[in-house]
Amino acid sequence: MPRYRDHYTSDMNQIRDNRAKQILRAGGTIYSSSVRLPESGLCELLGYAGFDFVLIDCEHGAADAATIDALVQGCFAGGTVPVVRVLRNDETEAVMKALDLGAQGVLIPHCRTAADALRLKQSASYPPKGIRGFGPGRGSKWGLVSSADYFANVDDSILTLALVEDPEGIENIDAIAQVGLDVLWVGTSDLACAYGVPGETSHPKVLAAASRVLEACLKHNIACGFPARDIESARWAKAQGYRAIGYGCAEQYVMQTSRRFLEGLEVPSSNA
């Protein structure tokens, strides 16, 4: 009797498929949510719910290698794609670390120039295309995938995303779009702050900036991302042509749903 599990198949010695990237290539729309706390079960849950990828937020959440390691495994358990949002837009080593731990995509914040976008693209690829250092672990299934197959396919399997959330990024958007990342994501909250209307993510100034990002993405045939606050804004974004739509974070769902329940029973919050 062979010493391996009955469900062993030939695709187990190939790199993991990136469903989110496949959907984009087919012209579809991908949906995501994010996680900030170091709880892998939240990633698993969002995967079961049907999100195409989960954003592991290391800019505003718990950011260390052990956290990424656990949350990536949670994503795989729930059948979704793990994407890591690194702390800064110049973290070449952080991009490498996230990918070595099995992340299938990386998002950089505050992409202001084409050089920022190019740095991400190169950091996510091995030479000669890029500058990523070699040391894969989970991405190569701990050596189950042969080096030949790994190098032949891995660069093309990584999802690269950049947040455009500063006036400088808006002004440079055409050059940024020409770099050829997979997704340029509109950062409406930071744009609202930058334009002097904090919290007003639907302000005309913010939406005008978002339209410029979308126009550049359509021109250069890449996907544009938008953060939806509810079903209606998600439907609006999809109708406008946005093909990557994010919906809040798991921790917010818990708070909002909990408060709706307790407020319905007239139970005050602990801070009341």
Stretch 121-145: mean pLDDT = 91
Higher-confidence residue of 62 and 27: namely 27
Averaged over 165-191, what is the pLDDT? 97
Quote the radius of gyration of the chain (alpha carbons, Å). 19
Q: With cut-offs at 50, 70 and 90, classify the pLDDT of residue 269.
A: confident
What does the buried/exposed string (b/e) look like for 236-259 if buried means 16 or more CB atoms within 10 Å of the residue's CB?
A: ebeeeebbbbbbebbbebeeeeee
Q: Helices 250-264 & 40-49, crossing angle to 10 degrees? A: 80
In this model, does residue 2 exceed pLDDT 80?
A: no
What CA–CA distances, in Å, run from 192 to 31, 149, 201, 209?
23, 45, 6, 10
> What pLDDT does residue 19 have?
95
CA distances to 60, 91, 153 from 130, rounded to whole Å, are 27, 14, 14
- Is the pLDDT reported for residue 64 higher than 90? no
196 close to 239: Cβ distance less than 8 angstroms: no
Q: Could you report the per-residue pLDDT of 66-75, keeping only the tens digit for each?
A: 999 999 999 9
Q: What's the rounded mean pLDDT across residues 159-177?
A: 98
> CA 62 to CA 155: how far, in whole Å?
27
Please give the mean pLDDT across all residues of the chain. 92
CATH annotation of 20-264: 3.20.20.60
Q: Which residues are catalytic?
A: 60
